């Protein structure tokens, strides 16, 4: 066994003290990073100021949120309680309403609390959760809208084979795959965004935690994450959008070949309402996520984000219910049932 002299032992002592100091410094640095990124969280600058005009706009947004909340809840209840609405189209519509309901509840309440209280803060964990839910729901809705276009194509172009091609099992697989891919996309982006170090400014120039706005605060190279984000958006936006374009091109051809003017009018009415929702949703989402970084402006992003976080969830139940005789019939039937119940 090797023996140590007193001198050699004394030479080892300064090295041990230096190592201890380095560990202490590293712990302090880690503590500073944790304090800045996870404990303090972020400050959401929001979209509204305290001016009279912005107070009016905030009231309008809250009104839209209330309509979206009530409309989607009512539509889900009607679809699940009325047997006449137990068809593939209305099943997909109930899933769309559920996604819209979760989306507005993920964004608007926190924005309202921050605006009314004046604090504007969000914790690091809260920001990650908001990103996860937001990306999952937007991705799921984008895929579902594409698959709903395929459903309309089968219903109009192949009506005799529709019950077989769109069986209950197929409908569940379509809805399940939309949710699964959306949730997977949300988890990937949430983990990647929350793994970056945020040691600079804590001010997010947005009214919620959106990935492009958050990446500007990262004190690390985000080029790899930008590539990942672009690839996810191509899959979750451009792929379903191409399905929609193809489906509606075929639908238009099938509608023009119809001999019955009434059938042609009904088919165009159904598809035009779907196309209105699709245009708002995909137009806003592509503007935010598929635009080159040098053309991005926070003021533009915040306004456009209102379209697919608040406005589209309000329009979906209105478009699909007010222009649909089956839904309006189910609503009248439900109101009559409530009247009879109140009289007894």
- Tell me the C-alpha distance between 125 and 239, whole Å: 31
- DSSP per residue over 55-111, as a string? HHHHHHHHHHHHHHHHHHHHHHHHHHH-GGG-SHHHHHHHHHHHHHHHHHHHHHHHH
Query: What pLDDT, on the 0 to 100 scale, is given for residue 30?
Result: 39
Least confident span in 27-31, 185-189, 269-273, 329-333: 27-31
Res. 237 pLDDT band, cuts 50 70 90: confident
CA nearest neighbour of 275 among 304, 303, 249? 249
Res. 342 pLDDT band, cuts 50 70 90: low
Which phi and psi angles does 296 have, rounded to 5°? -85, 140
Averaged pLDDT score across all residues of the chain = 81
The answer to whether 93 and 75 have CB atoms below 8 angstroms apart is yes
The answer to whether 187 and 132 have CB atoms below 8 angstroms apart is yes
pLDDT at 25 over 90: no
| Residue where the block lists tokens 């949730």 | 183
Q: Which residues contact 133 (CB under 8 A, 6 or more apart)?
A: 102, 103, 106, 186
Cα-atom radius of gyration of the chain, to the nearest Å?
26
Which one has a higher pLDDT value, 26 or 240? Answer: 240
Query: What pLDDT, on the 0 to 100 scale, is given for residue 23?
Result: 39
> What percent of the chain shows pLDDT beyond 70?
85
Q: Mind listing the pLDDT tens digit for each residue in 262-284?
A: 777 776 776 777 777 788 888 88
pLDDT at 152 over 50: yes
| Residues 179-188, mean pLDDT to the nearest whole number | 94
- Tell me the C-alpha distance between 114 and 122, whole Å: 9
Query: What pLDDT, on the 0 to 100 scale, is given for residue 51?
Result: 82
Q: Mind listing the pLDDT tens digit for each residue in 78-106?
A: 999 888 889 998 999 999 999 999 999 99
- Tell me the C-alpha distance between 227 and 167, whole Å: 38
Residue 7 structure tokens: 């001198």
| Residue where the block lists tokens 């209280």 | 117
| Residues 37-62, mean pLDDT to the nearest whole number | 82
pTM to 2 decimal places: 0.81
Most confident of 38-52, 136-150, 300-314: 136-150
Res. 110 pLDDT band, cuts 50 70 90: very high
Query: What pLDDT, on the 0 to 100 scale, is given for residue 33?
Result: 40
The sheet with strand 121-122 has its strands ordered as 121-122, 42-44, 203-204
């Amino acid at each position: 066994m090797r023996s140590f002299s007193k001198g050699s032992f004394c030479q080892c002592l300064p090295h041990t003290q230096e190592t201890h100091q380095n560990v202490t410094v590293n712990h302090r640095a880690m503590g500073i990073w944790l304090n800045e990124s996870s404990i303090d969280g972020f400050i959401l600058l929001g979209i509204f100021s305290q001016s009279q005009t912005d107070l009016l706009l905030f009231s309008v947004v809250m009104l839209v949120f209330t309509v979206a909340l009530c409309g989607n809840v009512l539509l889900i209840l009607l679809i699940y309680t009325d047997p006449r609405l137990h068809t593939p189209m209305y099943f997909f519509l109930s899933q769309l309403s559920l996604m819209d309901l979760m989306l507005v509840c993920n964004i608007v309440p926190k924005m309202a609390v921050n605006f009314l209280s004046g604090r504007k803060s969000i914790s690091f964990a809260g920001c990650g959760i908001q990103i996860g839910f937001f990306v999952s729901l937007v991705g799921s809705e984008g895929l579902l809208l594409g698959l709903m276009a395929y459903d309309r194509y089968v219903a109009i172009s192949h009506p005799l084979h529709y019950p077989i091609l769109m069986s209950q099992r197929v409908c569940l697989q379509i809805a399940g795959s939309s949710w699964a891919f959306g949730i997977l996309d949300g988890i990937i982006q949430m983990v990647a965004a929350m793994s970056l170090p945020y040691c600079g400014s804590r001010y997010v120039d947005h009214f919620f935690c959106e990935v492009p706005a958050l990446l500007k605060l990262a004190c690390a190279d985000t080029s790899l994450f930008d590539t990942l984000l672009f690839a996810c958006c191509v899959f979750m936006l451009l792929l379903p959008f191409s399905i929609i374009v193809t489906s509606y091109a075929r639908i238009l051809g099938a509608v023009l070949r119809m001999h019955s003017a009434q059938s042609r009018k009904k088919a165009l009415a159904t598809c035009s309402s779907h196309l209105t929702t699709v245009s708002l949703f995909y137009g806003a989402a592509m503007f935010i996520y598929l635009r080159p970084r040098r053309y991005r402006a926070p003021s533009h992003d915040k306004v456009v984000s209102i379209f697919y976080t608040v406005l589209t969830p309000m329009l979906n139940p209105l478009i699909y219910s007010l222009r649909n005789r089956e839904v309006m019939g189910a609503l009248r039937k439900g109101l009559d049932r409530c009247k009879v119940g109140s009289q007894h």
